[in-house]
Homo-oligomer: A and B are copies of this chain.
Amino acid sequence: MPTEGNRDAAREARRAQRVERHARRRQRHDHVDRDSRRLARREELLDAAVEVIRRDGPAVSMEVIAAEAGVTKPIVYRHFGDRSGLVAALAKRFTDELMGALQSSLERDAEPRDLLVGTIDAYLAFVEKEPNLYRFVVQHVDAGAEELSGFVRQVAKEVAVVLGERLREIGYDSGAAEPWAYGLVGMVHLAGDWWVDSGAMPRARLVEYLTTLVWDGLDRVENAGAG
């Protein structure tokens, strides 16, 4: 309920933030690249979005997100185009984080099974720690649009890449990479969805169950090589 008083307050707050920004800029008239300035602003907007989603849940409106960042809607739209653009940007953030964890596991050259366990666990840890953010980033909206909307698709896409490499390495039918990648991510996603709602078991146990379900299938390929 945006009463008149609230609106005035919000306006005043925005003004204060604007003034502060200007002051900072003048202080160090470093004149850094326009582009990097824009990039930084973008990150600030994303930070604000993260905060407000965490607080108010995934159904939060664009206007509220903008207000949290101390600006109004059109600014947000100039940066992200539309709502799904914002979602995609946020999704990219967390996808990068997640894939970073996966990559570091890969480079540590861990036991393959541990690698699987670690990846599933990292995904579920995010779900557990940031349920609101997770829900926001997972909601896929548009029907007609083909391309990568939504966190889940992005993750699956990247998993498909590393899985494809691995399969090609061992000489196995690499056509399996995509269906398996999407299948695996979908499995963890829905199971996690259920789990976070029901809280039926500790995370480690869920990870163990899911790993058991698919491990033999993956391991057989690993050992069989070109089969």
Footprint of B on A, CB under 8 Å? 57-59, 135, 143-144, 146, 152-153, 156, 175-176, 178-180, 182-191, 193-195, 197-198, 200-201, 205-206, 209-210, 212-220
What is the distance, in angstroms, from A20's C-beta to the closest C-beta of chain B? 34
Complex Cα gap A134–B152 (Å)? 18
Evaluate whether A143 and B57 lie within 8 angstroms (CB atoms) in the complex, with A195-B179, A217-B214 already known.
yes
Complex Cα gap A187–B190 (Å)? 8
A135 and B143 contacting across the interface, CB-CB below 8 Å: yes
Count identical subunits in the complex. 2
Complex Cα gap A175–B209 (Å)? 9
In the assembled complex, which residues on chain B have CB atoms less than 8 Å from the CB atom of A197? 146
In the assembled complex, which residues on chain B have CB atoms less than 8 Å from the CB atom of A219? 216
A182 and B186 contacting across the interface, CB-CB below 8 Å: no
Evaluate whether A183 and B179 lie within 8 angstroms (CB atoms) in the complex, with A216-B216, A218-B213 already known.
no
In the assembled complex, which residues on chain B have CB atoms less than 8 Å from the CB atom of A195? 179, 182
B213 and A183 contacting across the interface, CB-CB below 8 Å: yes
A194 and B143 contacting across the interface, CB-CB below 8 Å: no
Kindly report which residue of chain B lies nearest to residue A153, judged by CB atoms: B194
